[in-house]
Amino acid sequence: MKNLFIQSFMDSNGETFLEVGSTKQQDIDNGVFTSVPSSFNVVSNGTCFIEITKVDFNKLKSDWGVSETQIQIALRNQWLRNGSNNSIIFDVK
C-alpha cells in the first residue's frame, strides 16, 4: 500500500471535503492528492457523520486504492489527534 494521508477538511466557507493523497514530500510539494466534496453532520449525542457519493468514493478508490474501512480508521484517528472522542461514521451514499 502507498503511504497516504486521508483527512476531512473544511474550507473557510464551511464546505467539507474528503482528501486522499501521497505523503511523499515531493508529492506534497506538488499538491498530489484527490479532494472530493463530503457532507458533515453532527447529531445531538456528538456523533459525526461524514458522507460522500459512490461516484466520488470510486474516484478515490481508483486513484489511491483506498477502502471504506481505511477511510473510517483514518478519520477516527484524525478526530483523536484533534482531541475529540466523538464517534465518527463514514458512509458512501
How far apart, in whole angstroms, are the C-alpha atoms of residue 64 and residue 20?
7
> Is 90 exceeded by the pLDDT of residue 1?
no
How far apart, in whole angstroms, are the C-alpha atoms of residue 56 and residue 17?
11
Position 33 scores a pLDDT of 93
Edge-to-edge strands, sheet with 16-22: 4-10, 16-22, 33-42, 48-52, 88-92
Q: Which of 55, 64, 49, 82 is nearest to 19 (CA)?
A: 64
What tens digit of pLDDT does each residue of 25-80 get?
898 889 899 999 999 998 988 899 999 999 999 999 999 999 999 999 999 999 88
8-state DSSP, 39: E
Residue type, position 82, single letter: N
